[in-house]
Amino acid sequence: MLNPAPAISLGNTLSLILAFALVAAPHTEHLPLWLSALAGAMCLWRAYLARMRLALPARWLLMLVVIASAAAIYLQYRTLFGRDAGVALLVLMISLKLMETRTQRDGMVLAFISYFLVLTNFFYTQSILTALYLLGCVWLITAAMIGLQHTHEPARYRAQWRLQLRTSAVMLAQSVPLMVVFFFLFPRVQGPLWGMPSDAFAGVTGLSDNMSPGTINKLVFSEEVALRAEFSGKVPPPNKLYWRGPVLLDFDGKTWTAPPRPFLNRIDLQRRADPAYYRVTIEPHNRRWLFALDIPGLLPPRTSITADHLLMSQTPVTSRMRYDISSYLDYGIGADSNELTLRRALQLPRGFNPQTLELGQQLRAQHADNDAIVTAALALLREQKFTYTVEPPLLGRHSVDEFLFNTRAGFCEHFSSAFVVLMRAAGVPARVVTGYLGGEYNALGNYLIVRQSDAHAWTEVWMEKRGWVRVDPTNAISPARADGGLAAALPESALLSRSVFSSRNPLLHRWAMTWDSLANSWNQTVLGYNLETQRALLYRAGFDGDTLRTLAAMLIGATILVTLLLALATLRQRRRSREPVLAAYQTFCEKMAKVGIARGDAEGPQDFATRIAVTRPELAHATDAITRLYVSLRYQEEEENNNKNKYLQQLQQHIKALPA
């Protein structure tokens, strides 16, 4: 506190640099290259200066670098306050703080900011591996902090390092029980507390509420998980696994969009079979919609359903979310759809795709009802040798015309788009539905993994009495898509991503499945722990009512209990660990007290011995021996160790021999 700040030693400087470099390393993936290079250069430069015992650079020079770099960060991100810009700024600040870390206190501040930098890593990933890696970083930072408290330059650096690392490990390990208590019992509040920067969820892949050629295509190579689903019964067959996403109603010739739709007061649904019950864990995508199999029956709490049967959450899904839901896989919907909706589902932009419009009118003329038109159109697609490819050729203004009559190669979005335009041209109300199709079953964890690469687009056409009927034109071209997923539908060479998940090597695949199952448990128990799961936990434990008060009481109680146990373990006084020499002499004094000669508080051993010799001459000999042994054991430090033990044994024997 009032201490003159002691200068920071070489060992501590190096350990702080190492800790910072390791914490910052994962950030290099998204930091601008120049900043990573700058931070790395600062680390090396600081280490060099410390090694050579050179003076640190002048402050004005550092200020210049700070201003220039902050300007560069601003130019790069166009802000200084977003998530990415904030992290960049933090890394910049720490690497420059490194250059003016002179005292022990500077070192401590550096360690604190490094802890904070650990936290920022979780913006980007919270996987098991990240957690383990960063735990290692925390271990190092803490060891560096402990090193800062040592007041003497160590004789041997390696021994000192080992000591620091061991102390750090012990302290962290002992903190785990209390951390678990805090984690489960600290009252969770529903974040966010303040507005998140707009880029908080930048880079989150997933479906959007519009579709133009290429939108879904770009998801195909993403192995990122969209959702996981655990079925309480049998997993439905692959061709029933249509995870319903945004329903696209409006078309402007190029892009399909999903207009805002009213919510349904009651689900308009004809149930034809028993529903499937399942639990979905959805990855955050920062949108309000949730995914359910066609068509959700019972809704989870705090969700509603739109007129297009899209399940919606009340707030954007910004964290991993879990809900229990049921779906009717055999259903009928929208038989009584109103005129307005149906008219909207027939709209086409003027001046686009004349050939398709003509084809549609032909179909309408040739066939009596909607049903026949759909069948004929599908037959058309099937006969005309369309190719299913993830690398479709580019299309011009009349995209549907070009696709249907020229290129004849496309992805699900081309098929669904073209089919709906054709239907509308033939006077059949139709719409595009986006979502995911299928998923991969993980037998180890008994759940289904749905990835971004499972993204799909299909269509629904409206028919008298039957309502909206799902038609998947992709299926007409490539039936394997629905049954075996994308990997099955495409030739192997088409899949550019060579990740283990799409690997056909059984061993690798098995390993991948085990890993995902582990990741799923991690997601469910650690990452998925939030306000709701906390409440559910309390409820299951039998606590009802005022959860906040219950939690506060439990938190305080458990904290006290754990701390007490820890304190007992740490501060336990072992009687046997008392110095044996002292203990022996104490026994001697007690024996003397029993025979009437109590040793005074400040009486030295020699004076005491003299007094004993005067009052009890028969004890003089033994007392003399004991006193001499005691004094030499206690006050002569240079004794050889084995001699010490010998003397101690003699001392104990003499005392034992005394009459009790």
Partner 1 sequence: MNTVAALKHRFFDWFIQPRAPETGVIVLVQRRVYILPTRLGLVFAAVMLMMLLGAINYLLSLGFVLTFLLVAMAFNGMLFTFRNLARLHVSGGRTQPVFAGHTAQFTLHLSNLAEQARYAVGLSRERRGGDDSAFTDIPAKSTAQISIGVPAVRRGKLRPGRLTLFTRYPLGLYNAWSVVQPDMQCLVYPRPAPPGVPLPAAEAAQGLGASHGLGQEDFAGLRPYHLGDPPRHIAWKAAARGQGLYTKQFTGQAASEIWLAWDQLPPRMDSEEKLSRLTRWVLDADAQHLNYGLRLPGKVVPMASGDAHRERCLEVLALHDLPDLDNEADGDA
Provide the binding-site residues for partner 1, judged by CB under 8 A: 1-4, 104-105, 108-109, 112-113, 115-116, 118-119, 122-123, 126, 130-131, 134, 138, 142, 145-146, 148-152, 167, 171-172, 174-179, 182-183, 186, 188-189, 191-194, 196, 200, 318-319, 526-530, 563, 566-567, 570-571, 573-574, 577-579, 601-602, 637
Q: How far is the CB of 626 from partner 1 (least distance, A)?
A: 19
- Residue in the block written with tokens 């359903």: 305
CB of 80 to partner 1, least distance (A): 17
Under DSSP, the state recorded for 462 is: E
- Say whether 395 sits in a helix, a strand or coil: coil
Q: C-beta of 67: minimal distance to partner 1 in Å? A: 25
Query: Which residues, at least 6 apart from 106, have a Cβ–Cβ distance to it below 8 Å?
Result: 5, 8, 97, 100
Q: Annotated active-site positions, please? A: 412, 456, 472
With a CB cutoff of 8 Å and minimum separation 6, the contacts of 51 are 10
User: Is there a cis peptide before residue 262, judged by omega within 30 degrees of 0?
Assistant: no
Strands 269-271 and 321-327 come out as unpaired
Residue 587's H or E segment, with its range, is helix 580-594
Scored b (16 or more CB within 10 A) or e, 326-362 reads: bbbbebbbbeebeeebeeebeebeeebbeebbebbee
Token pair 């360690």 in the structure block, residue: 111
In angstroms, give the least distance from the CB of 171 to partner 1. Answer: 5
- Determine the 3-state secondary structure of 250 from DSSP: strand
Query: Least distance (Å) from partner 1 to the CB of residue 84?
Result: 13
Nearer to partner 1, 126 or 306 (CB): 126
CB of 243 to partner 1, least distance (A): 23
DSSP for residue 468 = E
Nearest CB to partner 1, comparing residues 70 and 555: 555
* DSSP, res 103: B
Query: In whole angstroms, what is the distance from residue 429 CA to residue 263 CA?
Result: 21
Q: Which of 73, 98, 74 is nearest to 18 (CA)?
A: 98
In angstroms, the CA 654 to CA 247 distance is 97
Helices assigned H by DSSP within 54-153: 59-77, 83-98, 104-121, 128-149
| CB-nearer residue toward partner 1: 183 or 263 | 183
Q: How far is the CB of 582 from partner 1 (least distance, A)?
A: 8
What is the rounded CA–CA span in Å between residue 389 and residue 392? 6
The vertex-387 CA angle with 393 and 376, nearest 5°, equals 115
Nearer to partner 1, 176 or 368 (CB): 176
For the CB of residue 228, give the shortest distance to partner 1 in the complex, in Å.
Answer: 16
Query: 599 or 654: whose CB is closer to partner 1?
Result: 599
- Closest CB to partner 1 among residues 136, 354: 136
Distance CA 600, CA 596 (A): 12
Indicate the residue among 148 and 216 with the shorter CB distance to partner 1.
148
Residue with smaller CB distance to partner 1, 146 or 612: 146
What is the C-alpha end-to-end distance of the chain, expressed in Å?
Answer: 54
Placement of tokens 């004809």 in the chain: 270
Nearest-CA neighbor of 522 among 249, 218, 130, 169? Answer: 130
For residue 595, give the DSSP letter.
T
457 C-beta neighbours (distance < 10 Å), count = 29
* Number of alpha carbons in the 13 Å side-chain half-sphere of residue 535: 9
Q: Which residue number, 55 or 602, has a Cβ lying nearer to partner 1?
A: 602
Report, in Å, the least distance between residue 166 CB and partner 1. Answer: 11
Q: How far is CA 25 from the centre of its chain?
A: 17
